[in-house]
Each structure stands twice: as structure tokens, then as C-alpha cells.
Structure 1
Amino acid sequence: MAFVWERVKFVKELNSKMKGFLSLNKTRKESNDRSRKLVVSRVIPIVFLLVLILALVRSTLFKPAGISRGSPNDLLADIVLGKDGFGEGQPGEIVPFKLMNPGGVTVDRSVRPNRIYVYDGSNSRILGFSSLGVCQNNPSAKCTADSDCPGSGCQVKVGGSLGSQKADLVIGQPDFYHSACNGDFNFQNYPQRATASATTLCSMPEYQISTTEGGSYNSLTVDKDGNLFVSDFDNNRVLKFVSPFTTDNVADQVWGQADFSGNACNRRPGDIFQAIGYPQNNTLCLRSPYNEGFVGSTDIDKNGHLWVTDNQNHRVLRFPKDPASGTIAPTADLVFGQPDFTTNAHGTTLNKMHAPTAVRTDPGSGRVYVADSWNNRILYFDPPYANGMAATGTFGSNLTYPTGIDFDPSGSGIWIDDSLNNQLVEFDMSGNILKVLFKDTSQPNGRCGSTTADESGCINSQTDPKTGQQVCWANMCSVTGSVGIDVDGNIYAGGPSFEQDVWRFKAPIPTPVTGKLYSASNRLFYPPDDMNQAYGNNGLSSARGLAVAARQLIVADKARLLFWNMPNGVSDLWTGKPPDGVAGVSNFDIADPWGFMDITAQGDQYLWVGHMGYIDVYQLPLTPGAMPTKTPVSLYGAGLPVLGGGNIVSQWNVNESWGDLEVTADGRYLWASQPHFNRVVRIANPMTSPTVDVILGQKSVTDVTCNQGDPNYPPVPGNSSNYPLNYLCYPGGVKIDRQGNLFVSDHWLEITGNFRILTFNAGMFPDNPTSVIYNPAATRAIPNVAAWKPAFDSQNHMVVGFNSYYGGNGRFPGVYSNPTTQTTPDKFLGDYFSMALFAAFDNDDNLYVDDLNRG
């Protein structure tokens, strides 16, 4: 499964004077268009922490109107860590030398050296390079292609963190270090979106749950004057930037919206969850609620007319240029794919389209090519044109989800981005295959990588700048959007899969030969690997557990343990504060290969950490570079002993990782969930002689099936109210409340389990049982809730986050004033989450909540 990225938030409770009951009615509209009325009792109020320092200043440019944090009872967080403001939400640190799901490159050949534009598909920005390097015989001369350096060649200096040259232009963000959609990715005015502007882009919708799997792609266009045209995907508009390298990064003209502030699909009123509505000749709807297409495209034809793919309206529009004024009209005069400007049904006939992803016009013949992605074809239209006309024919063959069309500047043919066949193919103008990249020969089989070649047949192998080893950069997966082609014919392709990079394939591209792969010569955004700057001492990659102990906040950040020192309490924290240290690895730039998923503190003395099939113990407080002092629990080798005989032994399967841990204050017992084995175990004497003496959810140590294999109780969302209380299915979070009751979230990633919270009353489990206690029934259940790990304050109020994929709960963590009797929350926190996976209170009742997916 794909884990996604995270931030950590805080809410500070006022003192006990605020006890009592309030009548506070709220209405919140969830993404499934359900409304629920919330009545608050026994409020957990919030106080503003006056520690927001200069790190926040950069993001105040995008502060949403009407948001005021720090007021009592506002239920809004006061501090955010991992980001320098509440509007940001992408994993890792945003930097000028890394990308997140790039998709779409274009080259401005109107100037020398050629300029490169890269669409950063999940970071709501476009990065620009005025050149890529220097001439080998003249280091003061800038270049992009060898022909910029007569008698010599171009030495590319762009290369991730090690490259001496980085992007020198950013569009859509105030600087190279931000990525929020319209300055607010976190729906701070939910359900109203932040308005767009002439300085913002939105390439990922605010409601995206899994940020690593989201975003959009683009076929960018530069006209003969160096003006850039871009489909601003989630703002449902097209923008023109007049020669941005020589002027500014502020848009100069907009299509699809009435002005620069608009961002609604088909200009419909209301919030983002309103129906699509019907289009007009001046509207666009690019983001599909049905995941039908993720690519926007523009083109300028030989007459200066603007062509636009309108993804969700399943059409292509032409906006005409007025030859007298030189401006492009805001209303379209021609439509393909629909009979008129007010319909948007998709279809398969030659006069219909289904999620068009690219449009390009032949500067000679005027022929218009359209990538009709869901129909797996390239359509072409020959003049004279007419509204709703049928395509003249189809181009190419054996395509699967084509998303890019680009003419080779030499006139040799057309490059087609055959995305789901994972290959880039050049066809001649008659549709015959000339060249292939990413594979040795054209293989339209849906596979990533060749079936007839490997690296032993590599042409143009390179030296990896990170490892020093010989590598073959030939295999790219899921490349989507336009590819850039410079004046020399070098190809630039952006890979949103494992590459997270733009690769430069040096011309001439060889003729396809079975068994021979052609390697890229350069990688523009490597090293490091991964999305954005995944590690380092700024930003969080994916917070997967947290604990507050020994005057420290500790976060399990995917593959390392980060900590913030708090000798004076929460006043030592402020928004955007970098961590004070890292543990589990030697430094901030190192990632543990197994990663960390769950942590729990035993008072201020020990931190228990799940580490694949191990459970490690760290001495508290953590110090920089700290490693475990002991690994008392292991599923490997002889395994974990079970009282009375038997062992729990690993088969070296990743699914055997622990789901969550909870240690008792005295360290006598450690509760641990095993989601994929459908059980929760209690480990007695975990530090000295760990032995399992309680197993919840199963009748024996060898039983591991969901709901004990009972076919009458399948794990169906919304149907757990009558399930037996001794059954478990993918249990995740475990927590002991202030009264000694054990709470188990009977549910796990991504969306599995019985969708309920079980409570086992204090005193149910005796000390020192003579044999294993199997299969006890819980005392009660909170049904039909997909919850993560709860937290309990000193008054035993419970705060718990929910799985956003489960529509019945929503995106806001719930607050239960009496969790031992309630089945629904009294109220909800005010911040919008993807996955509020873990929550914790400190000794002063300050609340900490992490977001697994929002960095």
C-alpha cells in the first residue's frame, strides 16, 4: 500500500475553569454531501500560543480570509510542525531541486539557450530553467543544447541537490519552498475553497486523501514569442504568462473563469462538492470527480488561436485570436467532441471524446491532433472545421491511455506519450513507428519495462552521481503529459512513478533494436530519491506515530524518529520549528530501510518502537543519533513465546509488522496489534522475559483469520453494529484510557476491518494468568466508525481521528466527552485532515494530532 505524507498539529486546552456544558450547534458538509448536526458538550477549548515566529512570515502572503486561530473554543490547532504554515500539506520539504509527481515538460525554442518548463504535478507549481549548463570550452557561456556551444558541447549542471545549477523560476508559488493549492491546501474555510489569483496554481484538489497518489499533469505550450500557456487544472482555467523569464511570474490572461479569483468547474456557484453543471462557451471543467483523466493541455496554432482540452466536459475548444487587436477571445468559437457548447456527455464515436488529454496543431497543414485518453486513441481533424464535427480519422496504433502529443522540431514525426503502455513512441506522419524510448522496441503490453531487454544491453550507460556505479536510466513508468524537445532534438520526459524526476535523452535517439535499451544522459532532479526532499531537518515525510514524554515530542516519521525538546513545555514549540534531533538513524539525511510505524512511551523512562517484527526500546529522553538500548521482543528466530507453550514466529512478511503498541505505566504489560493477523496480544514482562498471555480476536495462537473465519460476519463498512464482540478484523490502534479501560480500533489501513471501536473494561485481564486468555468479548462497541488511535485527556475525554476513505466519519477528528457510554462524538476539531492517524495528550492536556498523508 502507499503510505502518504504528514504534519503534526497541536491544540491547547484551557484550564479546568472551562468545564461544563455548552450548546453549540454546527453544521458541517462532508465530501459525501452528507450534513451532520453537532451538539457540543464539555468543550475542549483552545488557547492561542503566541510563538509563531518568522518561519511563518513567508506563508502569510496566502493567509485565508476569516481564519483566526487562538480563540477559546475555536477547536483549531495553534501550532503546526513539519510545515511553516497551516496552508501547506505536501510530504517532505519543498525545494527547488526536487519534484512530486512531475508530468509535463515543454521547451521554449524561441530563444537560445532554450528554456525548460517543468510541471510539478503535486506541488501546484511550474519550475523554469533559463539554461541547463555551461559550454565545455567556455564556462561563462550558458547552454541547454550542444549547438549552443560551437566547437564544443554543453555540460549539464542541473542535477538535483548535487547540481550547481537549480531552477531559476517558479510559477504558482511565492517562492521555491511552498506548494499549497491557492496558498491553502488544507481547506481552512471548509467547505469553501481559497480563491485563486494571478499568482497561484492548483494542481491537486484540497480534498485529496492520498497526496502521494494525487495531482495532475499537463501538456504545456510556449508560443513563438516565448509566452507560456498552462491549464491550471484544479482551478478549471487556462493561464497565459507573457514571457515569464523576462517579465514576471504573474498571469496576464485567463480563460475558463470570469476573472483570476474564480476556480469553480463550469463556474458553478457554491462549494467544491457541488454538481458539475453544464458548460458554456467560456467555461472549463478539468478535474473529474470520477477520476476520468488527470491531464490538461493547451496549444497555439499558426494563426495564434488557443486550443484547450476540457477534460471533464469531454471536449476540445478553440479560442480565436483577433488579428486586429492581437488578443485571444475569452469565449470559444469552435468545439470538438460535443455537438454544441452546452453539453458534456462522453462517447466512443468519432464525434465524441472521453477525457481528452492533449491537443496539438500541425503548423503546416493545420491538422488538429487530440489524445482521447479513455478511448485509447489519437483523433485528428482536418480543416475546414465545424462545431461537433467527426474526426477525420485516428492516428497511431495499439495505444493505451495516450496523454501527450509533440511534434519533433526536425519534422520527422510525432512523439506520442503512450502512458499506460509505459513507452514514448515516435510515429512518422503516416503512423509508422520510428523511435521508442523507455523500452527497446514498441511493446504495447501495459507493462513497465521491456520484456526483451535488460541493462546488459544498455546504450549510453551513465555513472550514478550518488553511488558512482554504472547505471542505465532507460526505464520510465507512467510518464504523463507533454515531453520537451529542444533545438538539438534532445528529449525531456517527466516521470511521476519511481523516478520523481525529469530525464534528458540525448539526440540522436537510436533506431529501435531488440535487446538494446537507450539510457538518458542526465537526470535533472536527482539526487536524492523520492518525492520532494523526503528527509533532512525540515519537513515531515509521513508521520506514523507520536508520543509526548520526558519533555519531548517524538514523531515516527516513516523511516526515522524525530524529536522536539520541550524543557518548558509546549511554549518551546512554534509553527515550523525544525526538530532538535533524530534517533533510530545516525543523522537527518538517513532513512531506515524498514521504517517505524508505532511508538509508545513508558512514562519518562522508555520509548517502545515497532520495527518490522521487532520491538525496540530507547532510553528517554532521546538524544541525537540515539539507537535502541535493547530489543526485547522479536518475531524472528525462535519467535515470541506464548504462555503454556508455542511461539509467534515471523515468516519474513512485511504484513507481520506491528500495527500499534501501548505499554502500561509500570512497564509490566505491552499491548500490540497485528492487523494482518487479526489479533491483539498482551505481552507480559516485555522488557525481561516477554511472553504472550492474552490474545484478543482469536481462539488459538495459530488462528489468524478475520472474524475467526465466520462467513456470517464479513468486514462490510457500515454493518458492524451487531457483530460479536469477541471478533477482530484488521485491528489497529490500541490505547488504555485514564480509567484503565483498553480501547481497540477494529480497523486498519487502507480501509479494512470491522469499522468500530471496542472497549475492554479495566479489570477484565488478571495479572499472572496460569494460561493464555483467548478470545474474550469486549464490554461494548462504538459501531460504524473507521477510527485510528485515540487519545484521552485528564478528564478522560477522547479525541480520535477517522479514516477519510470511510464516508460516514469524515475529515475532522471527533471529541467524545464520555467515551465509555457514547457512540457518537459531541463535536469535531476544526482542522481538515487526510488521515489523523495518531493523537496524544501531554501532562498539561495539550493535544497533539498527526496527519499521515500531509507531510
Structure 2
Amino acid sequence: MFCQQNSLNHHCDPKSDSFLSSLVFQSATSDKSNYCGFHLVNVPPLEFNSSNYRLFINFPVSIGPKYQINSNYSIQGVLPAGLTFDSMTGEIKGTSTTVTSPTPITVIRNSPGYAVKTISLQVVDTSPIFVYGQYGSYSCSSAYNTGSCASSSPNNQNLSSPYGVAADTTGGVYISGINRLQYYPPNSMISTRVYGQSGFYNCDLANVDSGGTCFGTTVSANSLNNVRGIGISQSGELYAVDMGNNRVLHFPNQSNVPSVVYGQSGFSTSAAGAASATSLSTPLAVGIDSAGGVYVSESAYHRILYFPPGSTTASRVYGQTGFSGNTSGLSNEKMSSPNGMILDKDGGLYVSDNGNSRVLYFPQNSTTATRVYGQPDFNTSGGGGGPLGLSGPTGIALDQNENLFVADTGNNRVVMYPKTTQNAGIAAVAVLGQFDDLNCTLNNNNGSCSGSALGPKSLYSPTGIFFNQFGQLYIADRTNNRVLVY
């Protein structure tokens, strides 16, 4: 009698048809287990937060695999000067000391779980490479610059007191300034779309009516009044904070007519209602999560509201015990005039608590902060400088490796904090606007912290900041009437 072929096809026989598929299934569904005498380890993929890193010279660097495991790593390629490689963790770290062009680096995880990933590192200078609002000049700060460094009237190339800045995935840039918001195509300093001024680039008035003239004070879907923060959803849709009209407007792709309003019952009203789940009073910033949920910071009511996707009724409030609360405070659950916001990849929320001169971090879905920047603890406020202090922070942003950048408006600088789990007393490790001097707070620092002189590396009351998908940093240099790109 002969045996059937299937009777020899045992799942523990390495030569059997089912061995490999069973081994793969077992390793994918179990962290560690024994299978037919084999010890299995489920190893995560080798991934990084970005494929192309843009690093500032003299800024500390820490780039590691997204999923941390101790292993045996190696690299191919030459690291920029000042950086080293940790063969145990796969981390690239140090302080880059030389400007470089994009350099490919191949990271190899040898064991456990062989994997290869190539990333690019580019070290750039801390001088901006592009400027909006001043016709390409870094030595001019005129409001509504005419092109000859003199102030005149608005047009599609100048700015006055820009506040917010954001970029879409195509490289287009949105800049808010006083009562208008402008869209600039990629790599152009000439805007091709204007919001809030009936299509007129030579107009910058509050609540211009939609009658085709630069005149009127009619609140409508097309008007703006002291526009502040800007948000861009993952699908490229625009959200604008219309502070003076106590609302946030949502514009569909490529349209300058909004389809949704937050904070008002319609497009023709603007009054600040009593604190509730549907009202807004002096909103300043907006953030959109990956699911389309909307966060709005409210200065007058000292709170952050979260609106679920598709709803204009908030379902969560930060800074107050309920939706009817409107008092300021100082704790890990209270705020004073919150401003800028940013969400991290884990869904955690960073908030610049402007009135308390600090930045708070809230884990996903929690209204209790677990980390504070700019103060030694959750019960201290007051503006300060140096590596440990902040003074009236506004805009905040995260770079490609989730280092935190803060527009420290009162100190005329943007500071960088490394990614950390420390909960307080966190020191900034790098600065823009003060020539690498964390102890200087002059507006338009002349380079030696001994006087003021406008230049490409100086800042004067910066507000909105933003990182685009390529790692380029945008800073709204508000009092210098320009936006800088690094």
C-alpha cells in the first residue's frame, strides 16, 4: 500500500508545501513564539518619519527609525560633518557643522529582521532663501512696499502685518494679513488669488461687501475682518480664522467662497455669543487632524474647541470644565489666551498658552496637559528668555522629526526644542532670529546683540510658522511685514 502525498505534507516539515505560509502567518500574528521548534520574533519594518531630511546648520540632530528596537545596524554613505551613527539603535545624531547638498544615506538593519532604507540628508544655512512681501529684498520692511522700499497701498506682491502662513502639498502658499488672505503659486512672490476683498488686490478693508467695490462694511461669506491663523487639511482644503468676525471659514479646494462657517449660525453674523459648544469669541488659530476634525483656539474664552469631522458643534473643550466656562487660569488644565496649535503623529496636541508664556502638550483625546515648555512647572507663568523661558508665544510647528519650533514673539525669535518625554524645565537647543544666541531677545538683532539692524537673519515679533512637506520652514515676520522661507 502506498501513502498519499498529503500524508507526508506535515506543517512542521521545512520541505512541506504549508511550512513557509504557516511560519509567515505565525510570525505576523505573534510577537514572540515557538513554532515547530523555531523561535519567532515579529520585527517591525524599518521606516523613518521622512525620506528627505532638511537640517539646519548648527542645530542638534536626532534621526532614528520610527520603530525603535535594539539591533545591529550599519550605514552606507558619508554623513554630513558633525553627525555620527549609532550601530545599536540606527540613530543619526550630533550637530551638523557644514552646509551640504542632498546626500543619500542607506541604513541597514542586519539583525533581527534584515531591512534596508535609504534616506536623504541636506544641511542648509540659517539664512532664508526666499522672502514674500518685500520684492525680494531682505533689507526692507515697509508695509505695502511699492517695490522701492516705500509704503503705499496694497497689491498682489506686498504685505502688511502678516500673521499666518501655510503651504499645500503642491507647494502653493497661503499668507494672511490684516483683512485679506492671499494665495501664491509655487516659487512665486506674486499672489494669484485673494480672499476677503471682492477680488481686489489694492484693497485691505474689514468686511468689504461683495458688490465688486473696495467699499462697505457688510459681513458676508466673502468678507474678512482681522484674519489670523490658517489651516490646510490633508486633502488641501483651506481653513481661515476670521478673528474680527468671531468665526472660522472652511473653503473647498481652489475656491475663495467658503462652504462652512464655525462659530456663527450663518455667513451674515459676526457677534461673539456666550461661551457654548457652537460659539466663538476672538479665535486665533485652527488645526485639522488626519480624520478631518477641527481644533480652534479661542483667546477671549481661554479655551480650545474640538469639532468632529463634518460638525460645527464642538464635542470636546480644553482649558475649561465645560462649554459654558470662559475664565483664564494657570494649571495643567487651564489656559490664558491660547494661540497657535499643532498636532503630532500620535494625535497629541501642542498649544501655545500665550497669556501664560508657555506651550502645553496634551496627549491624544486628553484635556490634561502632561508637558510644559517655557516654565519650570504647570503653576508658574510670566515671560522670560534664555533657553528655558518664553514670552508671549504664538505660532508653533513640528519639523520632520517632530522637534518643536515655537514663535517666541515677545523675544523676537523662533526656538527649537528637541523631541522629548520630559514634562517640565525643557531647554531650547537652537534659535532663529538671534544669530544662534539663546540669551538675546532684541528685535532685528544686528548680529552681536548690541543693536538693531534689519537683515535676512533678523526677526521682529514673528507669529505664524509652518513646515512644508519638503522640510522648508516659513516664518511670518509680522512687524517686518514679510514672510521668510528657509
TM over 0.5: yes
Partner of 1:503: 484
Partner of 1:479: 462
1:300 aligns with 2:325: no
1:448 aligns with 2:443: yes
Q: What amino acid is the match of 1:403?
A: T
Partner Cα separation in structure 1 for residue 392 and residue 430 of structure 2: 19
Partner of 1:466: none
1:232 aligns with 2:239: no
Q: CA deviation at 1:488?
A: 2.9
Q: CA deviation at 1:496?
A: 2.4
Q: CA deviation at 1:436?
A: 1.8
Q: Does the aligned pair in 1 maintain the 2:275–2:324 contact within 8 Å?
A: yes
Q: Does the aligned pair in 2 maintain the 1:425–1:442 contact within 8 Å?
A: no
1:635-784 equivalences under 5 Å are none
Partner Cα separation in structure 1 for residue 327 and residue 222 of structure 2: 33
Partner of 1:439: 434
Partner of 2:337: 355
Q: Does the aligned pair in 1 maintain the 2:446–2:458 contact within 8 Å?
A: no
Q: CA deviation at 1:372?
A: 0.4
Q: What amino acid is the match of 2:297?
A: T
Partner of 2:395: 404
Q: Does the aligned pair in 2 maintain the 1:104–1:494 contact within 8 Å?
A: yes
Paired residues in the alignment total 310
SS of the aligned residue for 1:239 comes to strand
1:179 aligns with 2:186: no
1:378 aligns with 2:359: yes
Q: Does the aligned pair in 1 maintain the 2:348–2:365 contact within 8 Å?
A: no
Q: What amino acid is the match of 1:177?
A: N
1:119 aligns with 2:198: no
1:35-54 equivalences under 5 Å are none
Residues 280/131 of structure 1: CA separation in 2 closer, same or farther (3 Å cut)? same
Partner Cα separation in structure 2 for residue 453 and residue 488 of structure 1: 32
Work out the percentage of aligned pairs sharing the same amino acid.
27
Q: CA deviation at 1:491?
A: 2.0
Partner of 1:261: 268
Q: Does the aligned pair in 2 maintain the 1:281–1:331 contact within 8 Å?
A: yes
Residues 384/280 of structure 1: CA separation in 2 closer, same or farther (3 Å cut)? closer
Q: Does the aligned pair in 2 maintain the 1:195–1:262 contact within 8 Å?
A: no
Partner Cα separation in structure 1 for residue 285 and residue 361 of structure 2: 16
Q: What amino acid is the match of 1:474?
A: K
Partner Cα separation in structure 1 for residue 445 and residue 433 of structure 2: 8
For structure 1, list consecutive stretches of 5 or more residues without a partner in the other structure.
1-90, 134-157, 159-165, 185-192, 204-215, 267-277, 287-294, 322-327, 459-470, 506-855
Partner Cα separation in structure 1 for residue 365 and residue 465 of structure 2: 29
Q: 1:319 aligns with which of 294, 307, 325?
A: 307
Partner Cα separation in structure 2 for residue 340 and residue 251 of structure 1: 29
Q: What amino acid is the match of 1:443?
A: L
Q: Does the aligned pair in 1 maintain the 2:228–2:240 contact within 8 Å?
A: no
Q: 1:494 aligns with which of 468, 476, 483?
A: 476
Partner Cα separation in structure 1 for residue 268 and residue 390 of structure 2: 38
Q: CA deviation at 1:486?
A: 2.8
Partner of 1:93: 153
1:234-264 CA distance string (max 9 Å, x none): 00001111112xxx20011110000111111
1:102-133 CA distance string (max 9 Å, x none): 11111112x2xx1101011x2x1111112114
Residues 384/308 of structure 1: CA separation in 2 closer, same or farther (3 Å cut)? closer
Q: CA deviation at 1:330?
A: 1.1
Partner of 2:277: 281
Residues 483/384 of structure 1: CA separation in 2 closer, same or farther (3 Å cut)? closer
Partner Cα separation in structure 1 for residue 228 and residue 324 of structure 2: 26
Residues 101/223 of structure 1: CA separation in 2 closer, same or farther (3 Å cut)? same
Partner Cα separation in structure 2 for residue 437 and residue 416 of structure 1: 10
Q: CA deviation at 1:452?
A: 6.2
Root-mean-square deviation (CA), in Å? Answer: 2.4
Q: Does the aligned pair in 2 maintain the 1:398–1:444 contact within 8 Å?
A: no
Q: Does the aligned pair in 2 maintain the 1:421–1:444 contact within 8 Å?
A: no
Q: 1:393 aligns with which of 368, 371, 382?
A: 371
Residues 444/118 of structure 1: CA separation in 2 closer, same or farther (3 Å cut)? farther
Partner of 1:223: 233
Partner of 1:422: 412
Q: CA deviation at 1:425?
A: 1.3
Q: What amino acid is the match of 1:197?
A: S
Q: CA deviation at 1:447?
A: 2.6
Q: Does the aligned pair in 2 maintain the 1:195–1:263 contact within 8 Å?
A: no
Q: CA deviation at 1:380?
A: 1.1
Q: CA deviation at 1:432?
A: 5.0
Q: Does the aligned pair in 2 maintain the 1:399–1:444 contact within 8 Å?
A: no
Q: CA deviation at 1:450?
A: 4.2
Question: Could you tell which deviates more after superposition, 343-352 or 484-493?
Answer: 484-493
Partner of 1:196: 219
1:490-520 CA distance string (max 9 Å, x none): 22222222x2111222xxxxxxxxxxxxxxx
Q: CA deviation at 1:444?
A: 5.2
Q: CA deviation at 1:302?
A: 2.3
Q: CA deviation at 1:439?
A: 1.1
Q: CA deviation at 1:489?
A: 2.2
Which of these two proteins has the greater Rg computed from alpha carbons?
A: 1
Give the structure-1-normalised TM-score. Answer: 0.35
